[in-house]
Amino acid sequence: MAGAAGLWYAPRLKKRAGVAQLDRASVYETEGYRFESCHPRFHRGRRSESTLSGMMGAFRGLLRGNVTAANMTDTTKTTTPVGGRQPQAAPGPKAALPSGHDLLGWLRRMLLIREFEIRCMQAYQNRLIGGFCHVYVGQEAVAVGTIAAVQPDDPVVAAYRCHGIALARGMDPRHCMAEMYGREGGCAKGKGGSMHMFDADHFMYGGHGIVGAQVPLGAGLAFATKYEDEVLTAGQSDKVTLCYLGDGALNQGAVHEAMNLAGLMDLPLILVLENNRYSMGTAIHRGTTMSHALQTKAEAYGIEFASVDGKNVLELYQCFKPLADWCREHSRPVFVEARTYRYKGHSMSDPRKYRSKEEEAGEQSQDCIDQLANYLREHHDLTDDGFRQLTRQVKSQVRDAVAWAKASPETPLSELYTDVYTDVWGKWTGTSRPQMLREDGD
Ligand SMILES: Cc1ncc(C[n+]2csc(CCOP(=O)(O)OP(=O)(O)O)c2C)c(N)n1
Ligand SMILES: [Mg+2]
């Protein structure tokens, strides 16, 4: 796991980088265990030994039988929190909204994502796009509102429903569409497709197909930025990592391991839970404990929690921005549930029999694009004509992206083994023995 690997490597990295602070790393002797910590600054505000002795104390208590279900759940008692922290007071008041001009930019981006997705669905039905295809229709406000609240060089990592997030992050729709079409001009040379939108120039570290797999990666990214800032350059951690996950990921072990490390290591990680109510055909309450009180998931790891309306981009931004700023300032993780809905099926082959037409219509009546457009009509000078013009511009941009993708060459076979893994031991040439396995003179 990326985060754990980072922890293990920390003292060695410092040595390699020649950072004098290595000497200040501490060795703890507790309860018969000896372990070495990273630089004390890296453990800001917590004492590792209390974690271990607290755990050992609880363990001994359990053995003696004096820890019961009753006193384990008694929240009125203050105990030394594992990881040294409990969730702290929610950050201050809501953020101010940006200018009307910026809000128009958000509307344009949300329209772009929706049009992009509709064209993807058409192309998929016409068999021009193959493989998996999970569209983001209905969830546009989440990507646009959260990305507007962070800096352009803050790392972003997502699950497989990632076209919208990549576009919100600034990926060129041409490269995104060419990836969908499996063409050489795609962001991953057409080798990843729908689930693997990756754009290092925009600090977008991919869509990921294994449910929850991006969360340890997100923790690792947050660890890397923090380590670089605080240890290698002796500065302040000034980046946050945005890590998106679906409600289905809540039940993945790796997500909980990563949350534990994030809480324990004060990682500047923002987990954005896109709660669209379904994990494939399973409604959240059928597959997830405490689905009515998801703050419990974050509290368990001492992580700050908030739940926001994911269909109202203004409300979302106003709540989310102070949390993101707080995460950056305090270098502490936050967990934000964005309540949203996907209008289409899980993927292209889903007839949506697990939910009613009435439910869908009810959710769509609070459409995120309509809500923002209405606000701009009421509070700024957006006219119906202006809205139509915006829609026309976006349609033409997506038409251009499709034409560009189609004109891009098919990815040649010679690309089959390139960029798959870093060639640490020399280029893999198919039938020859990799360099690492060769004897001298081979
Ligand atoms: C580890 C793992 N288990 C199962 C799957 C199959 N699978 C693909 S998507 C999905 C549902 C995930 O739902 P959610 O996290 O809510 O995301 P959403 O599709 O709603 O965006 C499942 C179970 C997988 N890709 N990876
Ligand atoms: Mg879901």
Atom 8 of ligand 1 has which residue's CA nearest to it?
211
User: What Å distances lie between residue 40 and 171, 219, 224, CA to CA?
Assistant: 39, 20, 17
Report the pLDDT value the prediction gives residue 432, as an integer from 0 to 100: 60
Dihedral sign for Cα atoms in the order 112, 118, 122, 124: positive
Instruction: Name, in order, each residue with C-beta under 8 angstroms of 414's C-beta and a sequence gap of 6 or more.
Output: none
Render pLDDT for 261-309 as a digit per residue (tens, 0 to 9): 999 999 999 999 999 999 999 999 999 999 999 999 999 999 999 999 9
Among residues 46, 66, 114, which one has the least CA distance to residue 372?
114
Report the pLDDT value the prediction gives residue 427, as an integer from 0 to 100: 63
What is the SS3 assignment for 184? coil
Q: What H or E segment, with its residue span, contains residue 332?
A: none
Of 47-51, 131-135, 185-189, 269-273, the one with minimum mean pLDDT is: 47-51
- In terms of phi and psi (left: phi > 0; alpha: psi -120 to 50; beta: otherwise), the region of 427 is beta
Q: How far is CA 420 from the centre of its chain?
A: 22
Q: Is the pLDDT of residue 43 over 70?
A: no
Residue 17: pLDDT band (50, 70, 90) is very low
Report the pLDDT value the prediction gives residue 89, as an integer from 0 to 100: 59
Report the pLDDT value the prediction gives residue 263, as an integer from 0 to 100: 97
Mutation probe of ligand 1 site: the residue of 211, 286, 342 with most atoms within 8 A of C-beta: 211
Report the pLDDT value the prediction gives residue 441, as an integer from 0 to 100: 55
Token readout for 402 is 């499709």
Render pLDDT for 348-383 as a digit per residue (tens, 0 to 9): 989 999 999 999 999 999 999 999 999 999 999 999
Counting ligands in written order, the one closest to the CA of 246 is: 1
Strands 304-309, 282-283: pairing kind? unpaired
User: What is the average pLDDT value for the chain, to the nearest integer?
Assistant: 82
Atom 18 of ligand 1 has which residue's CA nearest to it?
246
Q: Integer distance in angstroms from the first to the last C-alpha of the chain?
A: 35
329 CA distance to ligand 1 middle (Å)? 33
| Fold annotation for 100-407 | Rossmann fold (3.40.50)
Dihedral sign for Cα atoms in the order 82, 83, 84, 87: negative
pTM of the model: 0.80
Among residues 193, 170, 60, which one has the least CA distance to residue 112?
170
Q: What share of the chain is helix, strand, coil (3-state, %, to 5)?
A: 50, 10, 40
Q: Please tell me what DSSP assigns to residue 237.
A: -
21 CA distance to ligand 1 middle (Å)? 43
Q: Counting runs of H as helices and runs of E as strands, what totals does the chain give?
A: 15, 9
Token readout for 432 is 């020859």
Q: Is the pLDDT of residue 200 over 90?
A: yes
Render pLDDT for 383-400 as a digit per residue (tens, 0 to 9): 999 999 999 999 999 999
Residue 80: pLDDT band (50, 70, 90) is very low
Report the pLDDT value the prediction gives residue 94, as an integer from 0 to 100: 93
Ligand 1 binding site (Cβ under 6 Å of any ligand atom): 161, 209-211, 246-249, 276, 278-280, 346
Residues 320 and 56: their CA atoms lie apart, in Å, by: 37
Mutation probe of ligand 1 site: the residue of 276, 280, 291, 355 with most atoms within 8 A of C-beta: 280
Instruction: Name, in order, each residue with C-beta under 8 angstroms of 426's C-beta and a sequence gap of 6 or more.
Output: 434, 435, 436
Among residues 189, 139, 144, 183, which one has the least CA distance to residue 160?
139
- Ordered by start, the domain boundaries in the chain are 100-407
Report the pLDDT value the prediction gives residue 93, as an integer from 0 to 100: 87
